[in-house]
Structure 1
Amino acid sequence: MTDSTHSPAPGAAAEFDRQVRTLVALGYPALSGRTPERFAELVAPLRAEAVARTDRAAYAAYEPAATGRVPFVLVVGRELAPVERTMPLTTLRGGRLPGFVDRSFEPGSLARFVATGTTRPPGRDGVHLLFDVERGEEFCGAVPGDALATVAERGRTPLTVEEGIALLTHVPEVLVKNKCFSLGGSRCGDRRVPALWISKRAPKLGWCWEGNPHTWLGMASAGARHA
């Protein structure tokens, strides 16, 4: 529930509109089988919630590359925009090389990495908002399974593959060397945990074992989802 004592954040509306423009420019309307106008209509109802839930000070000292924190992210689900099509639309900040899916995903396996029961996005229209997003570099060097347990204890939720791609799409500067992140909200029933990191000067979607720590890989999480 939104605290009525908070005034709408002056930067939130502009940021929401920027994220919509980004998706339109990258061709998300076509991926979802819609015109740009119909796509804008699809996501428009989320704008008021983004503004209402975002504190006035959220963008006063906004440095996601340094802090790894983002107030909100507009997410398009894979039912509208397949991961295999959206990952190549990502780049590093200032980079030109497209993101890619690592070959360690055997053919057809990526489709099996889906949201778990607790991370399944709300709503039925394929778009939602993710609030209070953290890159989670405090978990660099931690075993992913332990990191997921800590995230749950804090009442937070790990990001899914689609949400990680959305974060990278809207805020590419959040993915930096030695501060990459796992996406523990999508699993396929085994010990593999999807993750985003940098390879060959481009973003890569790969996976790591649940019990193997990496000094450069944290655990991304969020405070809430809304549709």
Structure 2
Amino acid sequence: MSDALAEFDRQLDHLVRLGYPALAGRSESAFRDGLAPLRDVVAARPDADVERGEDHIPFVLVPTGLPRQETTARTALGKQQGFTVLEAGELTTFRPIEGVDVPDGPGYLLFDIDTGTEFLNVTPQDALVKITGDGRSPLTIDEGIALVTARPDMLRKNKCFSLLASRCGDKRVPALWISDRKPKLGWCWNGNPHTWLGSAHAGERVGL
């Protein structure tokens, strides 16, 4: 078994252990069966086990259609459980921005992910221009949660990240950072830079 396939299996097993089948209203076997075809996508990708530095991971499995308060609460740094300051109803108002197409189905793969430390102390609005100009895509809230769920080591002190692909029609930009040693899903203003907050981006989304 390749390292990439072992990583896919690890991520899927981790979601099951965290109770994602129940969140999705499905049995464990139905949850696994719904995402299993994505394993073949990973197997066919020569870049699925290529890491390019400390800010990069090759792929993450992104389950869809789940309550964000619940998925945020299933992130953790060590034994410190994640949380959000956004209400459940408010979280549903954040949707993908124009130009970001999220695949249909119970989940998909996000490839070539970078946590975006090159955008530390750069405003989200300026980071978005550079990311899209480079032919890449910012991350959605669900993708950020999936990233920290699968790889909590990627949420690092003074190297946290905004999720520029999810907006709700105002000037707020969602972000994930560390608060009291816990993952926190909050928001910052579109025009404000922060020395500890970059903007995550990825190369491609592949669905079923």
Q: Where on the TM-score scale, by shorter chain, does this alignment land: which range?
A: over 0.9
Q: Is the 8 A contact 1:54 1:71 kept in 2?
A: no
Match of 1:84 among 55, 59, 69: 69
How far apart, in 2, do the equivalents of 1:56 and 1:185 lie? 23
Q: Which amino acid aligns with 1:96?
A: K
**Structure-2 residue corresponding to 1:185:** 165
**Structure 1's 115 and 132: CA in aligned 2 closer, same or farther, altered over 3 A?**
same
Q: Gapped runs of 5+ residues in structure 1?
A: 1-8
Q: What TM-score comes out, normalization by structure 1 length?
A: 0.87
Q: What TM-score comes out, normalization by structure 2 length?
A: 0.95
Asked whether 1:151 is paired with 2:143, we answer: no
Aligned-pair identity (%):
51
Q: For 2:174, what is the secondary structure of its paired residue?
A: strand
Matched residue pairs, number? 207
How far apart, in 1, do the equivalents of 2:49 and 2:20 lie? 30
Asked whether 1:18 is paired with 2:37, we answer: no
Match of 2:84 among 83, 101, 105: 101
**Structure-1 residue corresponding to 2:102:** 121
Q: Which amino acid aligns with 2:90?
A: S
Q: For residues 188-224 of structure 1, give each alpha carbon's deviation from its aligned partner in whole angstroms, at most 9, with x where no partner exists.
A: 0111100000001100000000000000000001000
Indicate the RMSD between aligned Cα atoms, in angstroms.
Answer: 1.6
Q: For residues 37-59 of structure 1, give each alpha carbon's deviation from its aligned partner in whole angstroms, at most 9, with x where no partner exists.
A: 11110001111111222437616
Q: Is the 8 A contact 1:10 1:56 kept in 2?
A: no
Q: Which amino acid aligns with 2:50?
A: A
Asked whether 1:198 is paired with 2:190, we answer: no
How far apart, in 2, do the equivalents of 1:139 and 1:32 lie? 34
**Structure-1 residue corresponding to 2:55:** 68
Q: Gapped runs of 5+ residues in structure 2?
A: none
Q: Kindly state the Cα deviation for residue 170 of structure 1 after the two structures are TM-superposed.
A: 0.3
**Structure-2 residue corresponding to 1:4:** none
Deviation above 3 Å: which 4+ runs of structure 1? none
How far apart, in 2, do the equivalents of 1:67 and 1:219 lie? 15
Q: Kindly state the Cα deviation for residue 146 of structure 1 after the two structures are TM-superposed.
A: 0.3
**Structure 1's 143 and 68: CA in aligned 2 closer, same or farther, altered over 3 A?**
same
How far apart, in 2, do the equivalents of 1:172 and 1:107 lie? 23
